């Protein structure tokens, strides 16, 4: 069976990863002189608590190529085919790291590394679908072909109270962050071709959250929906019921975004995967 690998910016929960046999490579969160493995040494709740109070802005770093190669070698003891789906290469070096790890892995195993051209919910849904297909018997070639064709069908919308964390993390430019603060609006962002860009400006937080709900409802039918929050669990509770029934009875997911992506987010996020 094909083994599926992803990074922690996919926001896959440990329980779901175990159920689907997904191997998650954690990114690293660096805060001052301390380094933590994303959602391993530092929980999501603790990270966001620190983010609110720390004077030292945390940064992220990828696993080393050697570590990635080690993971591939371990999986190669169980399979002859591995697929890795990573965060957009325009957001992180993890895609390049995976390619380097593939090149130095010693085991005789076919490995396909795919840039999701997204992150968070969209990356998550691609990974979940690939893992389920692998469990159903799809081979590496079939999985790679399907994922590459599915990437344009995975859509993300995100809204933020502030773009400051995105600016510090290099996800949006200083001008966009300044504009959002100056106009006192809640921007809604999307991801296209691996890059974040503004798609709507809402007058307040409530309108921005309504935009996310309407975004999901606008598809009519989806294969799967993923809804995440960073520090807004009450909004997650409100949005989740409003989008129920939009995933054709297949998959519905709600998660809290992990530290690896959260160092540049302060948001509610909605991802859809359409047929």
Best CA proximity match to 98, nearest among 80, 82, 81, 119: 82
> Is residue 161 located within the same domain as residue 257?
yes
Structure tokens at 227: 């809804």
Lowest model confidence (mean pLDDT) among 122-131, 153-162, 230-239:
230-239
203: left (phi over 0), alpha (psi -120 to 50) or beta: alpha
Domain range for 163 is 153-273
Best CA proximity match to 225, nearest among 209, 208, 240: 240
CA distance 252 to 247: 7
> Is residue 177 located within the same domain as residue 265?
yes
What b/e sequence results for 95-122 when a residue is b if at least 16 CB atoms lie within 10 Å of its CB, and e otherwise?
A: bebbbbbbeebeeebbbbbbbbbbbbbb
When the pLDDT of each residue in the chain is averaged and rounded to a whole number, the result is 79
Structure tokens at 65: 């190529």
> Is residue 23 located within the same domain as residue 115?
yes
CA distance 110 to 74: 13
CA distance 175 to 152: 28
For the chain, how big is the Rg over CA atoms in Å? 18
CB atoms within 10 A of CB 218: 10
> Is residue 11 located within the same domain as residue 128?
yes
> Is residue 104 located within the same domain as residue 77?
yes
Cβ-contact 223, 248 below 8 angstroms: yes
Cβ-contact 144, 112 below 8 angstroms: yes
Total count of domains within the chain:
2
**pTM of the entire predicted model:** 0.82
Compute the C-alpha angle 150/152/158, nearest 5°.
Answer: 115
> Is residue 207 located within the same domain as residue 217?
yes
> Is residue 140 located within the same domain as residue 10?
yes
CA distance 32 to 45: 19
> Is residue 66 located within the same domain as residue 176?
no
If pLDDT is split at 50, 70 and 90, which confidence band does 174 have?
Answer: very low
> Is residue 158 located within the same domain as residue 194?
yes
Domain containing residue 27: CATH number: 3.40.50.10170
Helix (H/G/I), strand (E/B), else coil: 31: strand
What average pLDDT score do residues 55-74 get?
Answer: 86
Q: Give 208-259 pLDDT, tens digit per residue.
A: 888 888 888 887 777 888 887 766 667 776 677 666 666 554 555 666 555 5
């Amino acid at each position: 069976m094909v083994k599926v690998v992803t990074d922690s910016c996919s926001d896959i929960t440990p329980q779901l990863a175990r159920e689907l046999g997904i191997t998650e490579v954690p990114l690293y969160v660096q805060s001052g002189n301390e380094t933590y493995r994303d959602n391993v040494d530092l929980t999501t709740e603790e990270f966001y608590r620190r983010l609110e109070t720390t004077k030292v802005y945390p940064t992220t770093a990828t696993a080393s190529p050697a570590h990635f190669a080690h993971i591939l070698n371990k999986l190669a003891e169980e399979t002859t085919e591995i697929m890795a789906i990573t965060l957009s290469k325009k957001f992180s070096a993890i895609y390049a790291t995976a390619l380097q790890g593939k090149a130095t892995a010693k085991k005789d195993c076919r490995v396909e590394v795919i840039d999701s051209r997204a992150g968070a919910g969209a990356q998550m849904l691609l990974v979940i679908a690939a893992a389920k297909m692998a469990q159903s018997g799809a081979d590496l070639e079939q999985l790679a072909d399907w994922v590459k064709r599915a990437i344009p069908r995975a859509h993300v919308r995100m809204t933020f109270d502030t773009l400051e964390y995105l600016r510090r993390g290099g996800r949006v430019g200083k001008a966009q962050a300044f504009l959002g603060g100056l106009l006192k609006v809640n921007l809604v962002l999307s991801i296209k071709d691996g890059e974040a860009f503004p798609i709507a400006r809402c007058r307040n937080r409530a309108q921005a959250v309504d935009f996310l709900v309407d975004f999901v409802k606008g598809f009519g039918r989806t294969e799967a929906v993923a809804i995440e929050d960073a520090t807004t669990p009450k909004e997650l509770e409100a949005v989740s019921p409003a989008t129920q029934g939009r995933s054709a009875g297949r998959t519905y997911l709600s998660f809290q975004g992990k530290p690896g992506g959260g160092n540049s987010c302060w948001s509610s996020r909605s991802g859809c995967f359409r047929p």
